[in-house]
Structure 1
Amino acid sequence: MAFATAAAAAAAAAAFARPSSVVMVTRPSVRRVFKPLAISSFSSPSSPSTPSRRLVLYSKPSCCLCDGLKDKLQAAFLLSGPDSLHDVDLQIRDITSNPEWERAYQYEIPVLAKLHSDGTEEILPRFSPRVGVEVLQKKIAAAFRQ
């Protein structure tokens, strides 16, 4: 680089030596909390207030696939129409709280299961993380019709 005067060279050197002013913009961290419409401890099946359509979601904390499915389930529960899930009772089970669940589902979560009146569970087919809310609602409603 050729400079015409020593003053210009000194000014250029000073400009490179000084850090330019940088403005950093940060977003506040967002914490998502899932509050399903109906969470139950699933009291005895003979209880008259127990809904006939019950789901169990096996998940664990800090699982992005689990969080995505929880968000979609929450949205699907709010949809109305012929495939409405308003009467479905959802229970979320943290697999890290039970060694048996962790052993069974540690590599499979999120796992969604339909709970039958006799207490047995039927694992539903795995949903793609890209599935839309409406499709999710229809597939869950179809699983209950079977």
Structure 2
Amino acid sequence: MGIAVVAAAGASSSMAFLRTRAQRARWVLTPLASSSFSAKPISSSASSSRKLVLYSKPGCCLCDGLKEKLLVAFTLSGPDSLHDVELQIRDITSNPEWEKAYQYEIPVLAKVLSDGTEETLPRLSPRLGVELVQKKIAAALKQ
């Protein structure tokens, strides 16, 4: 069984995450017009209906910690699986509106609703383990 390692452009090796080939889904990091990246699993379904946005900035240790936990949480299976969730990571320093809104709050995790609007999720404690992060996100996405 092989292991694939994927990291965002310019990301440190600590931002890399592992997936086994047996899990079938791959992650693709695509630059967006807003200078952010979209981390999206490619699975058998053509498009994901569950989407999250993470507002962060470079050099934020809380942001980096949450990114790492999210990327691992997305690889876990089980009843709270997040394999079909699209995660878009937005650098608030690339957009003055985001920076004004979130400069003192990052990391901010929001779910994208069916009408395209965003709903901010409750802040996840940096002390939470990956499994608990997965459960809390899965519960928030069900609401």
Deviation of residue 49 (structure 1)? 3.2
Task: Please name the residue that 1:111 is paired with.
Answer: 108
TM-score (norm 2): 0.72
Change (3 A) 1:139 1:68: same
Match of 1:126 among 111, 123, 127: 123
Report which of the two structures shows the higher radius of gyration computed on alpha carbons.
1
CA contact (8 A) 1:55 1:88 kept: yes
Q: How far apart are the structure 2 equivalents of 1:38 and 1:143?
A: 24
> Is the Cα contact below 8 Å between 2:70 and 2:130 reproduced in 1?
yes
- Note closer, same or farther for the CA distance 1:34–1:95 as it changes in structure 2 (3 Å cut): farther
Q: Which runs of 5+ in 1 are unaligned?
A: 1-29, 43-47
C-alpha change, 1:91 and 1:39, in structure 2 (3 Å) is farther
| Residues 19-46 of structure 1, C-alpha deviations (whole Å, 9 max, x = no match) | xxxxxxxxxxx7423469355658xxxx
Bigger relative CO (Cα 8 Å, ≥ 6 apart): 1
Instruction: Give how far 1:117 is off.
Output: 1.5
Show the counterpart of 1:37.
27
Cα RMSD for the two superposed structures = 2.1
Which residue number corresponds to residue 77 of structure 2? 80
Per-residue displacement from partner, 1:46-95 (whole Å, max 9, x unpaired)?
xx933100000000001000000001001100100000000000000000
Say which structure is richer in helix.
1
What TM-score comes out, normalization by structure 1 length?
0.70
Match of 1:98 among 87, 95, 98: 95
8 Å contact from structure 2 (residues 15, 68) kept in 1? no
Q: How many residues align?
A: 112
**Unpaired runs of 5+ in structure 2?**
1-11, 18-25, 33-37, 39-44
Question: 1:34–1:93: structure 2 CA closer, same or farther, 3 Å change rule?
Answer: farther
**1:143 maps onto 2:140 in alignment:** yes
